[in-house]
Amino acid sequence: MPWKADGIRGDGLEVLAALARESFDLVLMDVQMPEIDGLSATQRIRQGQAGAQNACVPIVALTAYAQAEDRERFLAAGMDDYVPKPVEESELLAAMRRAMGHSAGPGTGQQDGGAPVQTSPAPGVGDPARIPRYDLGFLERSYGDRSDLLSDMLNQFHTTSLPEIEGNLRLALGNKNMLKTQQVAHKARGTFGTVGARRAVLLAQAVEKAAANGDVEALHRHSEALLTEAAALGEHLRLGRPWPDPEPETAAAPHPAEDKT
């Protein structure tokens, strides 16, 4: 199935404007965008606000929100399928094919034969200290023998992304800005995911959820654990070790307790 991308739109309003100008075979919709988010943009598309010709265009969500209840929200908004971040090529292509093959109409979550679309929800926060620091399978599937690409990604992650995450998180926490903390943690989840830092992804998820719920005690606990994990990742790369580290870990970073909310 050949695909041709037509660029990136910065927010939901730009998505609507692009669709109003021309027709597309499929839309990859980021859930969290400025101006209007992906859910609102999808609802407007389904209402015909981007042109009647696009009211039934297949829409696949790209999101860091991947719990079971999130899937229901996406389908209710009119999305056909979703892919959790970090996005893997095989999962993205499968979701695109499912969305293009829908015959039951937008937002039904059904394939041609009427079977529900099956997606794998992301694991809950649980106990990140028991989660491997690195997702070896993701690194192998994503980079394979492209060690040069992985090296470039890790260098950017070490020199730019990590300091940015740590600085922005400390600033948001210092200002007691729950919304900004939630936004920083959400972005951090995607960033950690691109380099297979699985434990950090779950810790960032815990920070995001605590900030969204206004749970100050949990936010403090999870934030400290995330900053500790980020520092460990930075030290790992500073020493120039290969990624992942072949040496067994002897001590676990501080971690949040079981999240039962």
CA distances for 260 relative to 147, 199, 256, angstroms: 40, 18, 11
Specify whether the CB–CB gap between 41 and 72 falls below 8 A: no
Task: Name the residue ranges covered by the structural domains of the chain.
Answer: 12-101, 128-238
Q: What is the pLDDT of residues 68-89, one digit of tens each?
A: 677 778 888 888 888 887 777 7
Give the span between the Cα atoms of 69 and 95, in whole angstroms. 18
According to CATH, the topology of domain 128-238 is: Four Helix Bundle (Hemerythrin (Met), subunit A) (1.20.120)
Residue 99 tokens, joined: 């969305």
Task: Note if the pTM is more than 0.75.
Answer: no
DSSP for 110-146 reads: B-TTSPBPP--PPP--S-GGGS-SS-HHHHHHHHTT-
Mention the CATH class of domain 12-101: alpha beta
Regions in the chain scoring below 70 on pLDDT: 1-8, 65-68, 102-129, 241-261
Q: What is the pLDDT of residues 5-36, one digit of tens each?
A: 666 677 888 889 988 888 888 999 988 887 88
Give the span between the Cα atoms of 212 and 193, in whole angstroms. 21
